Amino acid sequence: MGRSLNLLPATFSDFRRMAERRLPRFLFDYIDGGSGAEVTLARNTADWEAVKLNQKVLRDASNLDTSVDLFGRELDLPMVLAPIGMGGMTRRRGEVQAKRAADAAGIPFCLSTVGICPMDEVARVSDKPFWFQLYMLKDRGIVQEILDRAREGGVETLVFTIDLAVLGTRYRDIRNGMMGGLGPWGRFRSGPVDFMLHPRWAWDVGVMGRPHGFGNLARYVKQSNNPRDYLHWTGSQFDPSVTWKDIEWLRKMWPGNLVLKGILDVDDARRAIGAGADGMVVSNHGGRQLDGVASTAAMLPRIADAVGGETTLIVDGGVRTGQDLVRALALGARAAMIGRPWVLSIAAQGEAGLTRYLALMKQDMRIALGLTGMPRARDVGRDALLHE
């Protein structure tokens, strides 16, 4: 056991185990868990693994290129760091560290509405643009102010989450007292004793990582300075009545790229195009909303076949390796979002951990490109897959 702690992490599972040791239980479960029995959570990864690559030999692999174009910008990898609520609680000012690592890797970072670090703090990392994710709030005046601040901060791409009309039942959060709790044990485990059992996190984040509120909402949530108070406020502000008419309103308000996150149905994909979206994320919210739905690997090719020629498709959920990135491109996506991988590698080793994880993803992808006979990522198609 002692020697294993000194090994360099080589896979997502390695970073995940390191993060589990470092984080308080309530926070690790919040990030790692899904809804219900976590059937969809498991499908998301298993179905990517089931997509078989087609190995081809004696193809020139001397000049491998993992770059792609996305919304007019060249990315070094077909990947975006997905928006993660409370991501900044895993390491001191975690979203800032993630933005620096993303900049160095040549990929976009997407900041969540309910991230810990505010837009202006993330913008100060560099002059490279980042993406911003929005939830529709009942107070449209607040939404308009957030959009104005995003434009002022240099955001070009807005990701609007559309699959949160009601919150999925997440049993891990209930047990840990994050959704009202089911008795004293949940609240006990999420309190001071859990912090004492994780002193490195308590010092790095609990003491040195303040403020702990949702930075983008701080001006609207008065007399609150911890995520629990902010979660209560946002829970009362999330608008469950949002329809396609609201997407049309948002399209008029936002002049940049508009991406809808949470598409899992062909008809919804068509309606997203009709509402003026520039792109969409095929996503089931990382298995955190409706348990039992299809994986994104299963739905991506259906949606790509129906509307892929009319829009920009991104996929989210279960992508863990560079091989998965090639699978995603082959099934019709222009890029993939990763959520748990970036936030758990940050939790494990900070910015250096995320930098290492992204380098491993790139290395894996280069190998997959070279051995499928498709040296350029932007040329990857269904021929990269074994058809049975």
Catalytic residues: 285
Q: Which of 215, 93, 111, 94 lies closest to 157, judged by CA?
A: 111
**Any residues with CB less than 8 A from the CB of 156 and at least 6 apart, and which?**
71, 129, 131, 256, 257
Q: What is the biggest distance separating any 2 CA atoms in the chain, rounded to whole angstroms?
A: 65
d(CA 165, CA 136): 10
Question: What whole-number distance in Å separates Cα of residue 297 and Cα of residue 333?
Answer: 10
- Number of Cβ within 10 Å of residue 321's Cβ equals 19
Q: Which two tokens stand for residue 356?
A: 């290492």
CA distance 182 to 103: 42
Return the bridge partners of 73, or none: 70
The residues facing 282 across adjacent strands are 263, 315
List of residues 6+ apart from 198 with CB closer than 8 A: 22, 23, 24
Identity at 72, one-letter amino acid code: G
- Quote the Cα angle for 291-335-360, to 5°: 95
Which ranges of 23-71 would DSSP assign to H, the alpha helix?
25-32, 39-50
Helix, strand or coil for residue 325?
Answer: helix
344 contacts: CB under 8 Å, gap ≥ 6: 12, 15, 16, 19, 31, 32, 90
Dihedral over Cα of 251, 253, 257, 261: its sign = negative
